[in-house]
Structure 1
Amino acid sequence: MAYLDLSHLEKSFGTNRVVKDFTLGIEQGEFVSLLGPSGCGKTTVLRMVAGFEQPSGGQIIIGGEDVTRLRPNQRKIGMVFQAYALFPNLTVAENVGFGLKVAGMAAGERNERVTEMLALIGLPEKGGHYPFQLSGGQQQRVALARALAPRPKVLLLDEPLSALDAKVRVSLRNQIRQIQRDLGITTIFVTHDQEEAMSISDRIVVMNGGIAEQVGEPFTIYNQPATRFVANFVGTLNTFEAVVDEPTTGTVTLDGQTVSLGKKIERLRGDKVTLALRPEALHLGQAPAPAMQLQATVREVHFMGSIIRVKAEVADTMVSLDTFNRPDTPPPQVGAAIQVHLNPGDFIALDGTA
């Protein structure tokens, strides 16, 4: 059994079934992200783990203890909310030590723990300040310290970075991950931002319609999506329509060319199949066999710093192509006729799940 075991969780609000037979095992010290669009059930799962929502069915076990019916304060959970939820009338030190005071910790020991937590989040000099005197990023770090101060068994993070600007988000997410690693605390991180989830998670749970569409490491989720939803939600995707020639060898006809994907396709001969390709799998210029060559017309060019995204039309299909910026090689011009090539083995055959 995993350290944090969620078994067949269900949650309904009236006739609305929000979470459906959700099962997940999280190992001690693991950082797992629940990723999905608004309304997919990810925050509801988090709130059931925290004890703020009672499951309609299923079981929650932490460290071998069944906590399904325990109150939030009995579960030894640390929670960080999107909106900080700091007490405005308390200083930073008082906010961090609030849970310790409620638990009856002696003042001397409490002060030592608060000092330790402020050093951990890089704000040792801010103990006497009030929340309104801090930036958004600093307030969220204080909220993190407050959650960690009582030494919880599990840390829950509910979209903690969504109210921050882009640069602060990147810096703080990296800091959260480093603190999590240093403490070895089991963590669930809820986000709708795929880049956040991909960059800091040990594993990702992609949720849709109250179910877990796929659970896996970021590399697997991105490169081997299990469903059409996962493929489209995580990263940018190019899709091509093809016809299956030989399922066992993965031979298809695409844009008038016979192409071997080098892997079996779960289709019948003559079936139509949607093939997906990431933007970085398309390359500018000619290439020797066995690469597949396509003719294209440039429709848009977006300079993004280290990456240049080219949108081009290939046989009436718009595709995105990512290439690294090179100072000595300017990007193609809009309207230019170009050649692109790809490795057919990079194609992903999508299933019928929307």
Structure 2
Amino acid sequence: MAFLDIHHLEKSFGAQRVVRDFNLGIEKGEFVSFLGPSGCGKTTVLRMVAGFETPSSGEIRIDGRDVTGIAANRRKIGMVFQAYALFPNLTVAQNIGFGLRIAGEGKAGIRARVAEMLELIGLPQLGGRYPFQLSGGQQQRVALARAIAVRPQVLLLDEPLSALDAKIRVSLRDEIRRIQRDLGITTIFVTHDQEEALSMSDRIVVMHQGVADQVGTPFEIYNRPATRFVAEFVGTLNLLDADLMEAASGRVRLGDVSVALNRVLPGRNGDRISLALRPETLALGRREGSDIILSGHVAEMNFLGSVIRIRVSIAGQFVSLDTFNQPDCPPPAVGTPVEVSLSGRDLLVMTA
């Protein structure tokens, strides 16, 4: 049995069913991200685990204990909110020690734990300040320290970085992951930012319309998406329409080119299917080891710094590919005829 077990969890608000048959097991010390667009149900699941929402049905167990009907303050859970939720009339030290004081811990124990937390988040000199005297990143560190000061069994993070600017977000997500690893806290992180989920997580749960579309490691989610939604939502994706010529051998027609994928494909001969591939799996020109060469012309070019994203028109369809910026080798101009190389093994067949 997993440390945090969620079985057949459902939640409806009136006639609207926002979470449907959600099942997940999370091991002790694991960092799992819930990733998905607004309204997909990820925060509702988090709030049910926290005890802020009552499931319509299902069960939640922490370390073998059924907590489904137990009040939030008795679940041994730490929560970090998007809006920090610090008490403005309390100092940093008082905010961090608030949960300990409510739990009845002695003054000496609170002082020691608060000092430990301030060291952990890198703010040992700021215990006497008030929240309004801190930057957004510092306030979020304090909110994290307050959540883990009470030694929770599970840490829940509800889009804690969304209110911060990009540079602070990157440094703080590294800090959160370091602290989580150091303490070994079982953690659920809710985000709509795929880069955060991919860079921080042991596993990712991609949610769509109240359902977990796919659960897997970042590598699996990105490279082997189980559904069309996951493929399109995580990362940049090229979609190509193709005609299925021989389902048994995996032969398809892309424009006027016949391509053998060398695997059995779903569908019947003559069906129109969708093939997907990532920009980094394509190469401009003839690449050694590639078994598919397509001809087209440059339709658009976007300079992104170290990477240049080139959009190529091929037989009335468009693909984007990434190439590294080389100062002594400028990219082809818009309208230039080009060849694009790819491997059949990198083409994903989108069936759902």
Pick the TM interval, shorter chain.
over 0.9
Aligned to 2:42: 42
AA matched with 1:211: V
Shift of 1:210: 0.3
SS state at 2:143 partner: helix
Aligned to 1:84: 84
SS state at 2:172 partner: helix
Shift of 1:300: 2.0
Aligned to 1:337: 337
- The answer on whether the counterparts of 2:257 and 2:294 sit within 8 Å (CA) in structure 1 is no
Q: Distance in 1 between matches of 2:275 and 2:252?
A: 10
Q: Distance in 1 between matches of 2:81 and 2:155?
A: 11
Question: Deviation digits for residues 129-148 of structure 1, max 9, x if unmatched?
Answer: 11111111110010000000
- Residues 192-203 of structure 1: pairs in structure 2 closer than 5 A: 192-203=192-203
Aligned to 1:306: 306
Question: Deviation digits for residues 205-244 of structure 1, max 9, x if unmatched?
Answer: 0000000000001111111111111111011111111122
Q: Distance in 1 between matches of 2:243 and 2:21?
A: 36
Q: Distance in 2 between matches of 1:252 and 1:274?
A: 11
The sequence identity of aligned pairs, in percent, is: 65
AA matched with 2:279: P
SS state at 1:328 partner: coil
Q: Distance in 1 between matches of 2:78 and 2:64?
A: 18
- Residues 59-138 of structure 1: pairs in structure 2 closer than 5 A: 59-138=59-138
SS state at 1:225 partner: coil
Shift of 1:326: 2.1
- Residues 1-354 of structure 1: pairs in structure 2 closer than 5 A: 1-287=1-287, 290-351=290-351, 353=352
Q: Distance in 1 between matches of 2:178 and 2:118?
A: 15
Shift of 1:288: 5.0
AA matched with 1:170: V
SS state at 2:60 partner: strand
Which aligned runs of 4 or more in structure 1 are off by greater than 6 angstroms? none
Shift of 1:262: 2.7
SS state at 1:99 partner: helix
SS state at 2:160 partner: coil
SS state at 2:299 partner: strand
Q: Distance in 2 between matches of 1:285 and 1:91?
A: 61
Q: Distance in 1 between matches of 2:157 and 2:43?
A: 10
Deviates more, 1:303-312 or 1:187-196: 303-312
Deviates more, 1:325-334 or 1:153-162: 325-334
SS state at 1:178 partner: helix
- The answer on whether the counterparts of 2:297 and 2:336 sit within 8 Å (CA) in structure 1 is yes
AA matched with 1:123: L
Q: Distance in 2 between matches of 1:264 and 1:121?
A: 53
Q: Distance in 1 between matches of 2:330 and 2:2?
A: 52
AA matched with 2:17: R
Shift of 1:99: 0.3
Q: 1:3 to 1:314 in 2, by over 3 A?
A: same
Q: 1:297 to 1:326 in 2, by over 3 A?
A: same
SS state at 2:318 partner: strand
Shift of 1:328: 2.3
The count of residues paired between Structure 1 and Structure 2 equals 352
AA matched with 2:78: G
SS state at 1:267 partner: coil
Gaps of 5+ in 2: none
Deviates more, 1:123-132 or 1:261-270: 261-270
- The answer on whether the counterparts of 2:290 and 2:342 sit within 8 Å (CA) in structure 1 is no
